[in-house]
Amino acid sequence: MKYKSVVVTKIGGPEVLRVMEKDLRPPLVGEARIKILASAVCQPDITVRNGKSLYSGTPLGHKVPFTPGYAIIGIVDAVGEGVTAVAVGDRVGALTVIGGYSEYLYWRGDLLIPVPTTLDPAEAVPLILNYIVAYQVLHRSAKVKNGDKVLIIGASGGIGTAFLQLGRLANLKMYGLASPSKHHVLASYGATPIDYHTQDFVEVIRQAEPDGLDAVFDGMMSMDSIKRALPLLRRGGKLVSYGEPAGLVTLFRVLLTLIMVNLLPNGKSFKFYGTSTYFLFDQKPYLEDWAELFKLLDQGKIKPIIAQKFPIEEAAKANALLESGQVTGNVVLVAPEGS
């Protein structure tokens, strides 16, 4: 029996994604075989495909050909010898980094995330990456409190809208950068939208919050956004960057800035946040937070915005849509109905 995967055939645009067939094999020792129900289309999928990832061309990068896809939800279809954490029929998620654009996935049985069967896989899959980032930046990195004043740099994408929903639940006073066509979405969650094309967000915040912000959440990780955001923090305020810098030079400059900010006696702090590497070393906080997010989704307290769903075979169209910059919320790949 064969199954389909979407493969990056060379570095480039969405057109380099090709659907290929592979032979379905039994899982190896320690592996689970997962029939994928939904795969998230995320910004890291784009940067690794077009060669703009920090790790492109390095030993940590992904050699072409490879299957992209950072996060999935599926059903355990078979398990290999020694797998005890999951059983056939379990609904699970995985933070894959690569491999998610596929009908089946082989993954370590001890690195799978329990997912309630009551949830729609297409709605739940954004929680695996986009919402865990927002939740942990808010509650573990920034440790926000009721009434805190925060700025979200990039407030309309998958992670940005997760910040909006979770920030509203935490009763934060939110400001967010977005293009005018998306301002109504920010306003619907109680955030004050700022047009980054025509407004200087520094001036807007200084006028609105002369005492400073409690936190800034930066998904750009550019020196420009970081340098402009830092002076907006009050004493004790925190800047948390969760994006990927555009190259090693930018990373080096950002690291120097981080060291300097954290050494200065002004009470401000600057932190990085990342997911995949840390999950390998300490799963407990991630599993706790995913469980909380699934509960919030099940209770209707959060509801990921799904801009569009595509069949897995149409991953190129999904990538083109996300890359267009016109997306509010999330783009998701789904298995065919009844498959």
For the chain, residues with pLDDT lower than 50 are 57-60, 338-339
- pLDDT tens string 85-94: 999 999 999 9
* pLDDT score recorded for residue 262: 87
Same domain, 240 and 148: yes
- For residue 185, what are the domain limits? 130-272
Could you tell me if residue 267 is inside a domain?
Answer: yes
Could you tell me if residue 293 is inside a domain?
Answer: no
- Beta-strand ranges (E) seen in the chain are 2-8, 17-23, 31-41, 71-79, 91-95, 104-108, 113-114, 149-153, 173-178, 192-195, 213-218, 233-241, 269-272, 306-311, 330-334
For the entire predicted model, the pTM comes to 0.93
Rg of the chain over all Cα atoms, to the nearest angstrom: 20
Could you tell me if residue 15 is inside a domain?
Answer: yes
Same domain, 72 and 202: no
Q: State phi, psi for 130 to the nearest 5 degrees.
A: -60, -45
* pLDDT score recorded for residue 148: 98
Integer CA distances (angstroms), 123 to 13, 293, 305, 308, in order = 27, 12, 8, 11
Could you tell me if residue 38 is inside a domain?
Answer: yes
| CATH code, 192 | 3.40.50.720
Q: Which of 250, 272, 294 is the last residue of a domain?
A: 272
Q: Dihedral, CA atoms, 104, 110, 113, 115, nearest 10 degrees?
A: 80
Coil/strand/helix, residue 157: coil
Q: How many structural domains is the chain composed of?
A: 2
* pLDDT score recorded for residue 246: 66
Q: Which of 256, 272, 288 is the last residue of a domain?
A: 272
| CATH code, 41 | 3.90.180.10
Same domain, 143 and 100: no
- pLDDT tens string 253-274: 888 888 888 888 788 999 988 7
Could you tell me if residue 214 is inside a domain?
Answer: yes
* pLDDT score recorded for residue 263: 87
